[in-house]
Amino acid sequence: MVNFNVSRNNMSGALPSFDKGSCETSMISFGQDHSFLDVEDVQIAYSNIPVWGPQMNIPMGSMENFVIAHDFSWNQFTGLLPLFSVGDEFLATKNKPAYRLLLNNNMFNGSLPSDLVSNCNDLLSFSMNLSANYISGEIHESLLLSCVPMTQFEASYNQIGGSLPPSIGNLKMLQCFDLRGNKLSGTLPNQLGNLRLVNSILLGSNSIEGSIPSELGRLTSLTVLDLSHNAITGSIPASLSNAKNLEIVLLNNNNLSGEIPSSFSSLSNLTVLNVSFNNLSGPIPHLQHLNNCDFSRGNNLLGQCPDPSSNTPLDPHGDGQWRNKKSLIIAVVISTSVVLCISLVVVVVSVHGKKKFGRLSSLRSKVVVTFADAPAELSYDSLVRATGNFSIRNLIGTGGFGSTYKAELAPGYLVAVKRLSLGRFQGIQQFDAEIRTLGRIRHKNLVTLIGYYVGEAEMFLIYNYLSGGNLETFIHERSSKNVQWSVIYKIAFDIAQALAYLHYSCVPRILHRDIKPSNILLDEELNAYLSDFGLAKLLEVSQTHATTDVAGTF
């Protein structure tokens, strides 16, 4: 991968136009802190970037999955956005490059240009991040039409206005569309329903009007929809429930009316729904993974919150009071009878079969929830057996969050079971939603969360087992081994990729807050994997632990 990265420095001034000529570095100021990059460093780096000069001799036939990444983020660059270009020598190859451009968290200003990359349509894919600048103007149709391979369009927290052009529907490869915190107005185009690969549409905190397009229900890859803090009217389209992979839906602080579609109860992956502070009415449907009704506050005409264990929405109106009273009387009589019968059964069972009944109910309640394909052997009992009832013989690690045990559930099928410290846990009622968010996160350099168990006396997480130990052990044993520099570099690069995913691509973005060698695991080929990500949000950390803040996402 060709990677030019000057992010998180103290660089300022205008960014020159990076066409096919050389760079004029005299336009860039480097601040007074000598611990940051100096002019010579950047001149050397610029002279070796193929976009601005073909000095690097890379065999063109070896550029499979070739990615060009230019990162200018987290500096103090000012002025207009320049025009970028990828060298013709790379576009002429059979395997065209992907291009990632990061300009976020600077002070760029002026209007959003109609053309950002001169040869964008010749790329395999293009992703850009312009977030947290002072960019204004409107989104030109030419910007979208000239860059059809765009996969990521992030420009949140700028001053971009106007309405979304219908040509947004031409970006058939788009996966992430983030324009939160801008000044967008007008209505949402129906063409958003053409973005079949998009997984995140984030348009919160704008001034968007009109209704929610029913075409959004076509987006079967959509997992996060944020339309909060706008001026959207009309009803929530029932067709939205056809987007079966929805996990987070934020519609709060709008002017929505009508009912919450009853079909939302079929969204099995929906863990976060917020429709608060609208004008919604009618019954609240039973939602599978929401344990309280905070998501619906500020809607005075909405019905009562249904019992989480019930599938039946409640009547929100005061009409038919006699019918309600009659139903209540019948319910009380039946309930009283049932309670008496159950009490009698419990007394009998307690006398004649207390131990057997206790064992059966315990077995029924001990359910392991999984997020991925798992063998039939994965159950509470099998995990306890495979760990020797969490015997010290199978202990492979301890840390601030608990102890980890090795478990072989079937010949050749190994898992790592992290038994959490209950005293550090932060609210059992929120555990399900939080852990499901972690369970859907997948990256080649993150340890895979396979499942979890929550009981009254214990809880544990189940991960894939990595046989190479952790980096802490590797460092201590390195002196007795002939470890090549390339191996050390590969480990560092693997973890950098994992962190970049958690910080920039993951939804919600996650701060690990406990990076240390023991949390970096290795496989037999010394590929590195980051573990314990997101646990700071789940668990309360003690004062003696390295992390004192609970917040783990942003």
User: Over its length of 554 residues, how does the chain's per-residue pLDDT go in tens digits?
Assistant: 477 889 888 899 998 876 554 444 333 433 333 344 444 444 444 434 433 333 333 344 444 567 888 999 989 999 999 988 887 767 767 778 899 999 999 999 999 998 889 889 989 999 999 999 999 999 999 888 889 999 999 999 999 999 999 999 999 999 999 999 999 999 999 999 999 999 999 999 999 999 999 999 999 999 999 999 999 999 999 999 999 999 989 999 999 999 999 999 999 989 889 998 999 999 999 888 776 677 888 898 998 876 554 544 444 443 333 344 445 555 555 555 555 555 654 544 454 444 433 333 333 457 888 876 666 678 888 888 888 888 888 888 877 677 889 998 888 888 999 887 655 454 555 566 677 778 778 888 999 888 888 877 778 889 989 988 888 888 877 666 677 888 888 899 999 999 988 888 777 788 887 788 888 999 988 899 998 887 766 554 333 333 333 334 33
Neighbouring CB atoms inside 10 A of 330's CB total 10
Paired with 406 in beta bridges are: 416
**Any domain includes 41:** no
**Any domain includes 23:** no
**Any domain includes 319:** no
pLDDT at residue 4, rounded to an integer: 84
Same domain membership, residue 285 and residue 179: yes
Same domain membership, residue 520 and residue 402: yes
Same domain membership, residue 372 and residue 298: no
Are 452 and 435 in contact by the 8 Å Cβ rule? The answer is: yes
**Any domain includes 321:** no
Same domain membership, residue 186 and residue 292: yes
pLDDT at residue 1, rounded to an integer: 42
Domain boundary among 302, 327, 344: 302
Catalytic site includes residue 88: no
pLDDT at residue 330, rounded to an integer: 54
**Mapping DSSP to helix (H, G, I), strand (E, B) and coil, where does residue 143 land?**
helix
Give start and end residues of each alpha helix (H) in 426-509.
431-439, 471-477, 485-500
Domain boundary among 281, 302, 323: 302
Q: Which of 226, 494, 514, 532 is catalytic?
A: 514
Same domain membership, residue 182 and residue 292: yes
CATH number of the domain that residue 142 is part of: 3.80.10.10
Same domain membership, residue 291 and residue 392: no
Same domain membership, residue 393 and residue 274: no
Domain boundary among 269, 302, 335: 302
Specify whether the backbone of 301 is left (phi greater than 0), alpha (psi in -120 to 50) or beta: alpha
Give me the DSSP letters along 179-195: -TTSEE-SB--GGGGG-
**Any domain includes 442:** yes
User: What is the pTM (predicted TM-score) of this model?
Assistant: 0.56
pLDDT at residue 96, rounded to an integer: 84
pLDDT at residue 281, rounded to an integer: 94
Same domain membership, residue 392 and residue 286: no
Q: How many domains does the chain have?
A: 2
For 75-109, b where at least 16 C-beta lie within 10 A, e where not — what string?
A: bebbbebbebbbbeebeebeebbbbbbbbbbbebe
**Any domain includes 345:** no
CATH number of the domain that residue 372 is part of: 1.10.510.10
Q: In sequence order, what are the residues at sequence separation of 6 or more whose Cβ sits closer than 8 angstroms to the Cβ of residue 39?
A: 25, 28, 30
Q: In sequence order, what are the residues at sequence separation of 6 or more whose Cβ sits closer than 8 angstroms to the Cβ of residue 476?
A: none
**Any domain includes 341:** no
**Mapping DSSP to helix (H, G, I), strand (E, B) and coil, where does residue 518 land?**
helix
Neighbouring CB atoms inside 10 A of 458's CB total 15
**Domain limits for position 142:** 2-14+62-302
Task: Return the structure tokens found at 65.
Answer: 């999955």
Same domain membership, residue 279 and residue 383: no
Handedness of CA 379, 381, 386, 388 (dihedral sign): positive
**Mapping DSSP to helix (H, G, I), strand (E, B) and coil, where does residue 508 land?**
coil
**Any domain includes 241:** yes
Are 244 and 221 in contact by the 8 Å Cβ rule? The answer is: no
Same domain membership, residue 389 and residue 501: yes
Annotated binding site: 418
Which of 292, 253, 302 has the alpha carbon at shortest distance from 272? 292
3-state helix, strand, coil in the chain (%, to 5): 30, 20, 50
pLDDT at residue 337, rounded to an integer: 58
Same domain membership, residue 399 and residue 261: no
pLDDT at residue 543, rounded to an integer: 30
Same domain membership, residue 262 and residue 122: yes
Annotated binding site for ATP: 418
